Amino acid sequence: MGSPMRIKAGSEEYPLYLAPGLLAAAGSLLREQGLAGKVLVVTNPKVGALYLSRLQAGLEAADFIVTTVTIPDGESYKRLDQLTKVYDAAVACRLERDSLVLALGGGVIGDLAGFAAATYLRGVKLVQVPTTLLAQVDSSIGGKVAVNHRAGKNLIGAFYQPTAVLSDPETLGTLDQREFKTGLAEIIKVGLIGDRELDAFLRQESAAVKQQQIGALLNIIRRACAFKARIVDEDVRESGQRVILNYGHTIGHALEAETDYDHFRHGEAVAIGMVGAAKLSVALGLATPELTQATLDLLGEYELPTAIPGLSAKKLMTRMAWDKKVKDGKLRFVLSPDLGKTLVKGDVPPEAILAVLRSMGAV
């Protein structure tokens, strides 16, 4: 399988394996990390039908004792009542402090299972096995785990690092195009805010990326993971530099919450949010209009949304007031003075935000 990427998060460190065939090899790889005993696999019906048997066979071949709990598919199920189902399953199989919670699925499963692992018995071991592009490059790395509240996204959560991450790009072959593109949005974000080589690759090799050629996929996944890992190591608990990873997320999370998490996929909302961040950067005199055009060009190349479909600008502003970046009652925006650069601004006039939202289609 080759040597794993090492992810550092302050004093903690864990391996990230990225290679085809990892699902079947999961048991042996986890054994190599000194893990053993009981495993509670958290998944959803769609992912479970595709990959659970292969994963479970590999785990049982390595003498793990496997129990499974299934959560319905979708962001709207990342909530406390579904979390209780995981706790109930953990109690029923008598999960112990050295046991594993294994998240098999996308970001919803990873976040919910991760929060369960962080809080059951005050913390059991967590293994992330992300099966979507979005989860492989974003939510499975860095230890942010959470569930949603009706007032906003990820309001109830913790920082809890996994023991290992196993990313098998073969799972991406079963994603529909919409789900694949939602992961591309987070990779595009990395190019826009910090990795200019990744940005150039996405623009020049879009055909290979869209055709999901394995070499192109491994390249962009590795680069996105490496960038996030570097930021996380510098700022484990998002008290400083890590906030730049939320570029596009202030508007994006508001869009998700305002539409009850059932209209936009996460990456779609972030894509729209990145256009808003670029437009706001220009409106405040921090950047030239070329920033907005470069953002629109790249998102357009990958057929990601860039406009707000007639939602209330004022209601979106209310949602933003619950954003995790609010400090001392003031909303902070991650903005950009130019491609590859970011800054955090805490005194953005509300009228400027409203004007940008309305320019993008809000009413």
Q: Which residues are catalytic?
A: 122, 144, 186, 228, 238, 242, 246, 249, 253, 266
- Per-residue CA distances from 334 to 193, 244, 247, 301 (Å): 10, 6, 5, 24
Q: Please give the structure tokens belonging to residue 305.
A: 């949304």
Query: From CA 258, how far away is CA 220, in angstroms rounded?
Result: 31
Of the candidates 207, 160, 185, the residue with the CA atom closest to the CA atom of residue 255: 185
Q: Please give the structure tokens belonging to residue 156.
A: 């109830």
**Given the structure tokens 């893990």, which residue do they identify?**
35
First-to-last alpha carbon distance for the chain, in angstroms, is 52
CB-based contacts of 167, cutoff 8 Å, min separation 6: 16, 17, 18, 22, 129, 130, 136, 140, 221, 225
Query: From CA 112, how far away is CA 121, in angstroms rounded?
Result: 16
Of the candidates 68, 59, 60, 55, the residue with the CA atom closest to the CA atom of residue 21: 55
Q: Please give the structure tokens belonging to residue 341.
A: 């650069």
| Cβ proximity of 180 and 209 under 8 Å | no
| Cβ proximity of 290 and 341 under 8 Å | no
8-state DSSP, 49: I
**Given the structure tokens 């479909």, which residue do they identify?**
309
Task: List 43's β-bridge partners, or say none.
Answer: 70
Query: From CA 293, how far away is CA 297, in angstroms rounded?
Result: 6
Task: List strands edge to edge, sheet with 12-18.
Answer: 5-9, 12-18, 164-167, 125-130, 100-105, 38-43, 65-70
